[in-house]
Amino acid sequence: MDYVFPKNFWWGSASSAPQTEGESLRYGKSPTVWDHWFDAQPERFHQGVGPADTSTFYQNWKADIALLKQLNHNSFRTSISWARLIPDGTGEVNPEAVAFYNQVIDELLAQGITPFINLFHFDMPMVMQEKGGWESREVVDAYEHYARTCFSLFGDRVKTWFTFNEPVVPVEGGYLYDFHYPNVVDFRRAASVAYHTVLAHARAVKAWRDSGRDGEIGIILNLTPSYPRSQHPADVKAAHIADLFFNRSFLDPVLRGSYPEDLVALLREYDMLPACQPEDAACIRDGVADLLGVNYYQPRRIKCRDDAVNPASPFMPEWFFSAYEMPGRKMNPYRGWEIYERGIYDILTNLRENYGNPRCYISENGMGVENEQRFEKDGKIDDQYRIEFVREHLKWLHKGISEGSNCLGYHMWTFIDNWSWCNAYKNRYGFVSLDLDTQKRTVKRSGEWFSQTAERNGFDE
């Protein structure tokens, strides 16, 4: 075989509770920010489809786990819904939720699929949002309680935990660019949300270690390598600042235990540093992750700004750089995101050279496609574009490993077409297609290809 992966390489896919479970207000679950926002503004959601209309994992978990098995997954990530497990955010656990997650975990294990469990995937319980969400230290305390509860209920069987999925997304979406609730546009508040998320991560890491259980705990970051338009110092500086805001604001504290000095200096200069407590630095220092999940979809192309910033305008990251549409870049014609396979290798190289080569894996990578039904042939989605997408990314990942990167696996986003926040079902990502009317599941060609690749632990050119 041309591309053979290390023994015990993790082949699988990722999903999340709020995007798959459904039953968003039943079986004891309380509303999240998504349920609340959908009630208030359904027009913000693609075709008016909200968080109740998911791929029904709450009912179909057993059949879906059988599908994972058919796809030769040896590992699978999902999350535990805070609002389902602890409906009032801080108090009693919901026994129906415990029974549900126990069944899922036990079935995954029975099928030889290692469960990777993530705690927070954009789904703040509304009752916690009303207390200030991630702007509030009280919510950090409540999250720690939720983390401890999960570890004590499920930590005997779940050995791979993650504190957050893509923590920068709620910051960008909810507090800078208005694509998540609470639709705030305010850098100072965004900085406080980001800071408290890092603190919450560190508190959960400590809680896991306090539990004395064997296993590991990490975090999942979406990394977007920032490439400057040119080697001109102004472009290089612009790309560096974009990297500080969108990657290193999380990467450095969770892998090095401290923030990049130049990010701190920049925020201080503009009086944007979030409020800290004296004990925070030690907490963050001790919260270094055992394992990093990397979600990689696309890079950032950056140039320096052509015009001067109006100092009277609200402070934003874009004061320091502009996005750059690189001529000739390869685009996903069905989603509008750039496809740059080498980015996965550049991320691994950066982690190896600058962050001590941490244990890591690709925790999401995937290709969203609009109106994917048009590619159906003989009753199946013939998604050759997705096979090529995965294969080309895997080649670069393979190169990274052959040069010494400590990359342990590859998970695809995602195993079944699922509900995706405001985009609902606009972009399909699954190895398995979902008929929204009948809930019928059909493995796509890419699912068959992945299944073979996982079974052989590699592929030919």
What contacts 24+ positions apart, CB below 8 Å, involve 338-341? 338/298, 338/299, 338/301, 339/298, 339/367, 339/389, 340/298, 340/299, 341/392, 341/393, 341/395, 341/396
Does residue 413 interact with ligand BGP by CB under 6 A?
A: yes
**Is the CB of residue 70 less than 8 Å from the CB of residue 432?**
no
Phi, psi of 444 (to 5 degrees): -85, 170
Percent helix, strand, coil in the chain, to 5, is 45, 15, 40
Q: Which CB atom, from 64 or from 235, has the smaller least distance to ligand BGP?
A: 64
Q: Which CB atom, from 207 or from 339, has the smaller least distance to ligand BGP?
A: 339
Piece in contact with ligand BGP (CB under 6 A), picked from 181-189, 198-206, 400-408, 417-425: 417-425
Q: Which CB atom, from 148 or from 300, has the smaller least distance to ligand BGP?
A: 300
Beta strands in 372-451, from DSSP E residues, in sequence order:
376-377, 380-381, 407-413, 427-428, 432-434, 441-443
Nearest approach in angstroms of CB 411 to ligand BGP is 11
Nearest approach in angstroms of CB 162 to ligand BGP is 12
Piece in contact with ligand BGP (CB under 6 A), picked from 134-142, 184-192, 382-390, 415-423: 415-423
From the list 364, 370, 403, 455, the catalytic residue is 364
C-alpha span between 59 and 290 (Å, rounded): 33
> In angstroms, what CA-CA distances link 275 with 184, 249, 278, 284, 340?
19, 16, 10, 14, 38
Considering only residues 367 to 406 of the shown chain, the ones binding ligand BGP according to CB under 6 A are: 368
Amino acid at 203: R
**Is the CB of residue 273 less than 8 Å from the CB of residue 315?**
no
Q: Which CB atom, from 19 or from 192, has the smaller least distance to ligand BGP?
A: 19
Considering only residues 429 to 448 of the shown chain, the ones binding ligand BGP according to CB under 6 A are: none
Tokens of 57: 């994992």
Instruction: Compute the C-alpha angle 131/137/141, nearest 5°.
Output: 95
Does residue 420 interact with ligand BGP by CB under 6 A?
A: yes
- H/E element holding 401? helix 384-402
C-alpha span between 119 and 162 (Å, rounded): 6
Nearest approach in angstroms of CB 45 to ligand BGP is 12
Q: Which of 165, 433, 451, 453 binds ligand BGP (CB under 6 A)?
A: 165
Paired with 32 in beta bridges are 125
Transcribe 109-165 into DSSP letters.
Answer: HHTT-EEEEEEESS--BHHHHTTTGGG-HHHHHHHHHHHHHHHHHHTTT--EEEEEE
Count of residues that interact with ligand BGP, criterion CB under 6 A: 13
Piece in contact with ligand BGP (CB under 6 A), picked from 173-181, 240-248, 342-350, 418-426: 418-426
**Is the CB of residue 197 less than 8 Å from the CB of residue 167?**
yes
For residues 273 to 302, the per-residue mask of contacts with ligand BGP, x marking binding by CB under 6 A and - elsewhere, is ----------------------x-------
Piece in contact with ligand BGP (CB under 6 A), picked from 54-62, 171-179, 319-327, 419-427: 419-427
CB within 8 A of 383, min separation 6: which ones?
A: 369, 372, 375, 444, 445, 446
Instruction: Provide the 8-state DSSP code for 454.
Output: H
Nearest approach in angstroms of CB 413 to ligand BGP is 5
Considering only residues 347 to 366 of the shown chain, the ones binding ligand BGP according to CB under 6 A are: 364
Amino acid at 182: P
Piece in contact with ligand BGP (CB under 6 A), picked from 194-202, 271-279, 307-315, 420-428: 420-428
Considering only residues 167 to 226 of the shown chain, the ones binding ligand BGP according to CB under 6 A are: 222
Q: Which CB atom, from 208 or from 425, has the smaller least distance to ligand BGP?
A: 425
Q: Does the annotation count 364 as an active-site position?
A: yes
Instruction: Provide the 8-state DSSP code for 190.
Output: H
Q: Which residue is nearest to ligand BGP (CB)?
A: 420
Q: Which of 21, 64, 135, 166 binds ligand BGP (CB under 6 A)?
A: 166
Q: Which CB atom, from 260 or from 366, has the smaller least distance to ligand BGP?
A: 366
Nearest approach in angstroms of CB 426 to ligand BGP is 7
Q: Which of 10, 13, 16, 358 binds ligand BGP (CB under 6 A)?
A: 16
Does residue 115 interact with ligand BGP by CB under 6 A?
A: no
Nearest approach in angstroms of CB 265 to ligand BGP is 30
C-alpha span between 353 and 403 (Å, rounded): 11
Which residues are known catalytic residues? 364
Site residues for ligand BGP per CB under 6 A:
16, 19, 165-166, 222, 295, 364, 368, 413, 420-421, 423, 427
